[in-house]
Amino acid sequence: MTLANLILFLGILVSCQCFSDRENNFTTEFLYFTQIETAGHAAVSPYGIWNMLSQVKLLTAGNTKKQLQRALFLPKSCIELSYGLKNLSDVILGSNTGNTTLFSRNYVVIDENLLLNYIDFERDVNVLGMNIIPLDLHERDSAVIVANRLMYDEGQEVSESFQIPELIKTGEVDLNGMTLANVNRFHQVWRNKFTSVRVEKFYNEKSRPIGKVNMMFQKVNAACANIKPLESQVLELPYGDDGKYAMLLIKPYPNIKVNDVFEKMTKFTYGQIQNILNIQPPTVVNVKLPRFKISTDYALNVPLNKMGVFDLFEKKYSEFYGVSQNSLFVQTIVQHVSMVVNEFGLRTAEVLPARRWVKFTADKPFLYFVIEKTTDIIVVGGVYSEPTIY
């Protein structure tokens, strides 16, 4: 490696670390407020919404820009922001492997006649890599069907008879505004496969049975710890064979609610969790984890309001560069996340001897986070609390 390439590589690492810290500050608050609104069972992508709104910040002005900057923990410099976003995106999305794939796209749904008034705005949106979907919103029902089809089809194969999910709904589009959509799909293969699956009971936070799940089993060497500040047991399981992604599982202690753990995580950060896991002695973990599939579509206006983002959603106050003041606003911000957790892995774990043996049994509501390990960014996170046989 030449000196110039080494300097460039180190610069990218420093930039990514700086921006991953910013994203993680946002993540803690975003997960907390979103989880309150979704009342439990949920999957969201903190990185996806942070990335999209950071791009939107580059399009805004005045108080609208300031509110986004504060909520997203962003630098004031547009050049620094643009450079940091690109580097971070290249690391997180630019090196998907055959074992694990993260799909994340940003869309702008806007009335085609309204867009004609804002050619410079359209150019800037395209430069940022956001995908514009111009439609005739006078025909809302048909326009929404077309938008959902376009957003869902990308990166997937679907049959003509397939029922396209409602990523956005008719009430979430407006003739005089735009709808922002962030679409995420995460496909993974564990590094170590789960060896068996059987139906078992799943309990609520008061240890009362509330349903059944297909419980997967695995015995593996892994990082596992009881973290008292979170009142939880924490386990990390790797995906693939390159160490790029891992799932962090957080199981609250008996009678502790997932809401309480989210609140504690606003003070006890993911970085602190990782530091504790890194110093654990060699451990053999007997893992029991439900097999599940989750797909969610959320309007995020309310959680973002609670984080201090208001003007973006109000035509009277929103400000965008190159657009007449108080003439363009965001009607709704929606996010789609889908992921599957199953037993498939690359190999059966070769368990090395260890003096420490523990159990991690996820048979009550628990938190899960998919982490991109080189940046420590949470790409998907949520709560499993509604048992189903999958």
> Which tokens belong to 300?
């995020």
- Cα dihedral 103, 105, 109, 110 in deg (nearest 10): -160
What are the beta bridge partners of residue 227?
A: 232
Half-sphere exposure of 196 (CA within 13 A, CB side): 5
pLDDT tens digits for range 321-343: 878 777 899 999 999 999 899 99
| Percent of the chain topping pLDDT 70 | 90
In SS3 terms, 295-341 reads as EEEEECHHHHHHCCCCHHHCCCCCCECCCCCCCCEEEEEEEEEEEEE
Q: Which residue has the higher pLDDT, 385 or 154?
A: 385
pLDDT at 11 over 50: no
Condensed to tens digits (0 to 9), the pLDDT of residues 60-110 reads 999 999 999 999 988 888 888 888 888 888 888 876 666 777 889 999 999
Question: Average pLDDT over the chain, rounded to whole?
Answer: 87
| pLDDT, position 285 | 97
**Could you tell me the domains of the chain?**
3-94+101-187+294-339 (3.30.497.10), 190-291+343-384 (2.30.39.10)
Asked if the model's pLDDT at residue 265 lies above 90, the reply is no
pLDDT of residue 155: 55
What pLDDT is attached to residue 5? Answer: 38
Rounded Cα–Cα distance for residues 298 and 338 (Å): 12
Using CB atoms within 10 Å of the CB of residue 27, give its burial: 0 to 12 exposed, 13 to 18 middle, 19+ buried: buried
Do the beta carbons of residue 178 and residue 104 sit within 8 Å?
A: no
pLDDT value, residue 90: 84
Q: Which pLDDT value is given to residue 2?
A: 45
Angle made by CA atoms 236, 221, 366, in degrees to the nearest 5? 30
Confidence bin at 22 (pLDDT 50/70/90): low
Dihedral sign, Cα of residue 58, residue 63, residue 69, residue 72: negative
